[in-house]
Structure 1
Amino acid sequence: MMYSVKELADMADVSRRTLHYYDELGLLVPAVVSDQGYRRYNEASLLRLQQIMFYREMGLELRQIRTLLDDPDFDLMTALRSHREALQDKVRRLQQLVQTVDTTIAHLHGEIAMSKKNLFSGFSEAEQARYEEEAVANWGEMASDSIKRWHQYGKARQAEILAEGGAIYEEIAANMAAGPASATIQASLKRWHNHLRYFYEPTPEIMAGLG
């Protein structure tokens, strides 16, 4: 069975422009191009697009994906098993993060005691390093300085800072009905402004962007 660009785009929930771009890169070439210039894709195209989307989910660049898929030694079943293992690891990590969120909420409500170490359960060092690289790439020197400042605190101090921030957010949320001009909210916002100094200097421009 053959599929048009629109049919494949709808099926995979990607844009037609994306499929055209993949064709230009030689990443996903149509099985057939009609005399009228219409692209047509077959079952093999669907499986290749699935692999592209799996590798994109893993953070690989398009040119890296093309190199992998075009390798004569590439084996689809081996790749699928590898994807399954990686996804299972990700599911386990996300489940742990959900548990950490739930435990932290209960801790901030005074329902349970929570150790400093458990504040960081489920966080992957590799993922954190990747996020930091992205932050530096997107925000430059300010992000780099903020990351260095954060790492200088050490785990115990980081836990205290996070707990303080959580308490401020809870305080603001609990008093929102009083309105932004109320003395209570203004006091909380001042605490929040000071809290941001643990990460970076909150200039008026930055505060305007956050607001």
Structure 2
Amino acid sequence: MDYTVKQLADLADVTPRTLHYYDEIGLLRPSSIGENGYRYYNDTAALRLQQILFYRELDLSLDEIGAILASAGFDVEAALHQHRQALQQRISRLNHLIDTIDNTIQHLRGEKEMSTQELFQGFDDETQARYEQEAAELYGAETVRESSRRWKSYTAEDKARIMAEGGQTYRDLAHMLDRDPADADVQAAMGRWHQHIRAFYEPTPDILRGLGHAYEEQPEFAAFYEAIHPDMPGFLRRAIDRYVDML
């Protein structure tokens, strides 16, 4: 069966522009061009598009995908088995992350105690290394080292108290989402949030503001706070901006 650009785009849930671009770069050529100038794709092309989308799901670049598909030893069935294994591993990791999110929400609500190690269950070594690198680039390597030193210096009781205080602050803020970020109670809570951050390191105003924007813009942070309430990330960013403006 042959498909027009729009038909194949609809089936694959991509835009027609995506298919045009894949044609331009030689990644997915039309199977034929009709007398009317329309591009048509057959079942073989549809299968190739499926492979492209699987590899995109695994975060490969288009150049990398093109090289794989063009290799002499490429085997569709073998590739499908590899995709299945990779996706199973990703599903397992995401399930761990979902459990961590659920447990952390319970922790913030005061319904569950969590150790610091448990806060990071589900994050693989590569992801944690990326976070550490991003933190070093954003806050400076010395700040990251200081945070690690401070945390290691605390007793188990200190750590439990710090996490409980932080959880209470987020619970307080979650009950103020209908207020203006400049509200006195909101800003008092932001002061407690600031003190919570200081338990880890001494943040500059720029770092505080950067945290607020990260809460809203970075997918991992945003997903965490959206699980508490969909409006939480944006509210935190606005409240932090206001707090920093008043420092």
Q: Shorter-chain-normalised TM-score: which range?
A: 0.7 to 0.9
**Residues 72-91 of structure 1: CA deviation (Å, up to 9, x unaligned):** 10011111111111111111
CA positional deviation for 1:104: 1.8
- Between the aligned residues of both structures, percent identity stands at 45
One-letter amino acid matched to 1:127: T
Residue 233 of structure 2 corresponds to which residue in structure 1?
none
Aligned to 1:139: none
Of 179-188 and 52-61, the range deviating more from structure 2:
179-188
User: Structure 2: which amino acid aligns with 1:153?
Assistant: S
Cα drift, residue 28 of structure 1: 0.3
1:154 aligns with 2:175: no
- Structure 1 unpaired stretches of 5+: 136-141
Which runs of structure 2 are paired with 1:56-75 in the superposition (5 Å)?
A: 56-75=56-75
Given the two structures, how large is their TM-score scaled by the length of structure 1?
0.80
Aligned to 1:172: 173
Q: Distance in 2 between matches of 1:199 and 1:10?
A: 51
Corresponding residue of 1:80: 80
- Cα distance, 1:179 vs structure 2: 4.7
Would the alpha carbon gap of residues 176 and 15 (structure 1) be closer, same or farther in structure 2, given more than 3 Å must change? closer
Tell which deviates more after alignment, 23-32 or 99-108.
Answer: 99-108
In structure 2, the residue corresponding to 1:40 is in which secondary structure? strand
TM-score scaled by length of structure 2: 0.70
Per the alignment, residue 7 of structure 1 pairs with 7
Unaligned runs of 5+ residues in structure 2 are 153-158, 214-236, 239-247
Q: What residue is the counterpart of 1:122 in the other structure?
A: 122
What does 1:3-152 align with in structure 2 at a 5 Å threshold? 3-130=3-130, 144-146=137-139, 148=141, 149-150=143-144, 152=146
Q: Are the equivalent residues in 2 in contact too, given 1:150–1:199 (CA < 8 A)?
A: no
Q: Which amino acid aligns with 2:52?
A: I
Cα deviation, 1:125-158, whole Å, max 9, x if unaligned, reads 213445667x5xxxxxx87142633355239839
Q: Which amino acid aligns with 1:190?
A: G
Residue 202 in structure 1 maps to residue 205 in structure 2: yes
* 8 Å contact kept, 2:110–2:167: no
Give a deviation string over 1:165-185, Cα, whole Å, max 9, x none. 544322211234565444321
Which deviates more, 180-189 or 62-71? 180-189
Deviations 1:23-81 (A, max 9, x none): 01100001111233211001011111111111111111101100100111001111111
Aligned residues: 204
User: For each residue in 1:90-138, what CA deviation from the matched residue of structure 2 results, as whole angstroms up to 9, or x when unmatched?
Assistant: 11111111111222222233333322211111011213445667x5xxx
- Relative contact order: is structure 1 or structure 2 higher (C-alpha 8 Å, sep ≥ 6)? 2
CA RMSD of aligned residues (A): 3.2
